[in-house]
Structure 1
Amino acid sequence: MPRGKAVTHADLAPRRGRTQLGSKTGAALVVLTILCGLFSFILCLVAEATRSQVTWQSNPNSSEDGGAGNYECVYSGSGKMPLLAAGSAFLILAMAIVVEHTYLLVAVSKLPPSSPAFAARTLSWHAAFFFVSTWISFAVGEILLLIGLSVESGHLRNWAKPRPSCLIIREGLFCAAGVFALATVFLAAGLYLTVLRAEKAFREQEIARQEMLEASVLYASPPRSPPPRITAVDREAPMSGGAHQGQQDPTLGFHSVFSKFSNVV
């Protein structure tokens, strides 16, 4: 017959749901968000390395008096590669931040109203700092990527044709966007850890309050009467000391009467 598995305290403890803080889903989501930020950073570096550049050349059809149209600019590429890399980084970062913050909102909404996530000043300030910093960094990074996308998409066609003016982005714009993407995901991870810390503090506070309530109920209850004590008499069945207190043993009376009768005889 197969032996059964022993039940431990961990088996009896309530398990966290998928939408609760501290669950495996939350930890995996934070790790995935950081990986998405790293991938966005790499894509930004690719966009920076392949961004379009401008080459100036003289215009043979210009007048000999030296006007403003003596030189024309030519793009070094069509801009498809930096456009694709920057667009992918934009979408990946946006999806990662939106999904993580949606998960946090759902998880925090299930906490009790008296949770330290809303009541404790220190944790509230930390959470507010991470929340505001995350969205500011996210907004700046996305705006930089949008600027790069708009510039690179302006010369997809006829990019090799000389033009009197060419619009290009400054060097380091995509790198700055990648740095803001990294800062965004790490700040989002800090926000998750802060909220998780607040929930843990709330659970400990609830356990301590429950123990105090149980202790107060125990000491506030009236003292109980002592239980009846069972005593045993020689050659007799045990009898309760509280029930037969003050009663004489009938065998003792019988022996005294018999002794008196024998003396008379």
Structure 2
Amino acid sequence: MPQGKAVTHADLAPRRGRTHLGSKTGAALVVLTILCGLFSFILCLVAEASRSQVTWKSNPDGSEEGGSGSYECVYNGSGKMPLLSGASAFLILAMAMVVEHTYLLVAVSKLPPSSPAFAASTLTWHAAFFFVSTWISFAVAEILLLIGLSVESGHLRNWARLRPSCLVIREGLFCTAGVFALATVFLAAGLYLIALRAEKAFREQEVARQEMLEASVLYASPPRSPPPRIAAVDREDPANGGAQQDPSLGFHSVFSKFSDVV
């Protein structure tokens, strides 16, 4: 017969689901969020390197009579490359934030109703700091990317035509957006670690509370009375404790009385 596998305490313990904070799914989402932030940062660098620039040229046709001529600007490119790079960085960062915070909300909602996961003051302040900082950094990064996209999309056509005025973004705007995008994903990872730490503290508190309840029930119960003990004595029935006498003993006493009379 095949030998059965021994059942350990780890087999009997409840396993974590995919929506729990300490599961492999949570760790994979955190790593994926950080990778998305790095990719967004690289795309912002590409957009910064390929951003549109302006060159001023003299236009003799627009000069007044006897004047030296007017200057008009012209773009050095259509802006498609920085537009695509910035739009990709914008979408990747937004998707990473939505997925990460949706998972956190679902995982926290799976905790018991009486869960003091964020009850401790220290953990509460840390979680609030990371939460607010994450969304502020995310908002700044997305706003900067939107500004860059709106400017770069304004000269997709006829970009080589001379214009009286040309609108360009300032140097370093896409780089700043990339830095805030990178800070956003790291702050989101910090928020996940704070939530995981709070859940771990709650689990330990629940285990300690359960052990205290078991110990209090054990010591609060009244002491049990000792079990009844029956001891046999001489010429006494052990089962009846001397309440009834053996009929053979009575017969023997009567017989001996009549024998004396005779």
Give the match for residue 106 of structure 1: 106
Structure 1 position 225, deviation (Å): 1.7
Range with greater deviation from structure 2 (140-149 or 97-106): 97-106
Structure 1 position 109, deviation (Å): 1.4
Q: Distance in 1 between matches of 2:66 and 2:190?
A: 64
Give the match for residue 151 of structure 1: 151
Give the match for residue 15 of structure 1: 15
Structure 1 position 122, deviation (Å): 0.9
Alignment of 1:42-191 (within 5 A): 42-61=42-61, 62-63=63-64, 65-66=66-67, 70-191=70-191
Amino acid at match of 2:39: F
Q: Distance in 1 between matches of 2:19 and 2:78?
A: 46
Q: Check conservation: 2:232, 2:241, Cα contact below 8 A.
A: no
Give the match for residue 256 of structure 2: none
Alignment of 1:4-43 (within 5 A): 4-43=4-43
Q: Check conservation: 1:151, 1:168, Cα contact below 8 A.
A: yes
The C-alpha deviation readout for 1:218-251, integer Å capped at 9, x for no partner, is 1111101224568899xxxxx98xx77789x98x
**Structure 2 residue runs without a partner (length 5+):** 254-259
The C-alpha deviation readout for 1:49-104, integer Å capped at 9, x for no partner, is 1111111111121235547x611111111000100000000000001101111111
After TM superposition, what 4+ stretches of structure 1 lie above 6 angstroms from structure 2?
A: 230-233, 243-247
Q: Distance in 2 between matches of 1:144 and 1:120?
A: 36
SS of the residue corresponding to residue 205 of structure 2 reads: helix
Q: Distance in 2 between matches of 1:24 and 1:211?
A: 29
Alignment of 1:211-250 (within 5 A): 211-228=211-228
Instruction: Give me the TM-score of the superposition, normalised by structure 2.
Output: 0.86
Q: Distance in 2 between matches of 1:42 and 1:107?
A: 31
Q: Distance in 1 between matches of 2:219 and 2:9?
A: 28
Give the superposed CA RMSD.
2.7
**Structure 1 residue runs without a partner (length 5+):** 234-238, 258-263
CA separation of 1:196 and 1:246: change in aligned 2, threshold 3 A: farther
Structure 1 position 22, deviation (Å): 0.7
CA separation of 1:230 and 1:207: change in aligned 2, threshold 3 A: farther
| Matched-pair identity in % | 86
Range with greater deviation from structure 2 (145-154 or 120-129): 120-129
CA separation of 1:162 and 1:109: change in aligned 2, threshold 3 A: same
The C-alpha deviation readout for 1:127-165, integer Å capped at 9, x for no partner, is 111100000000000000000000000000000111111
SS of the residue corresponding to residue 119 of structure 1 reads: coil
The C-alpha deviation readout for 1:185-228, integer Å capped at 9, x for no partner, is 00001111101111111111111111111111111111012245
CA separation of 1:27 and 1:245: change in aligned 2, threshold 3 A: farther
CA separation of 1:54 and 1:231: change in aligned 2, threshold 3 A: farther
Q: Distance in 2 between matches of 1:132 and 1:230?
A: 76
Q: Distance in 2 between matches of 1:87 and 1:38?
A: 15
CA separation of 1:133 and 1:223: change in aligned 2, threshold 3 A: same
Q: Check conservation: 1:46, 1:82, Cα contact below 8 A.
A: yes
Give the match for residue 260 of structure 1: none
Instruction: Give me the TM-score of the superposition, normalised by structure 1.
Output: 0.85
Amino acid at match of 2:32: L
CA separation of 1:232 and 1:207: change in aligned 2, threshold 3 A: farther
Range with greater deviation from structure 2 (55-64 or 209-218): 55-64
Q: Distance in 1 between matches of 2:33 and 2:198?
A: 21
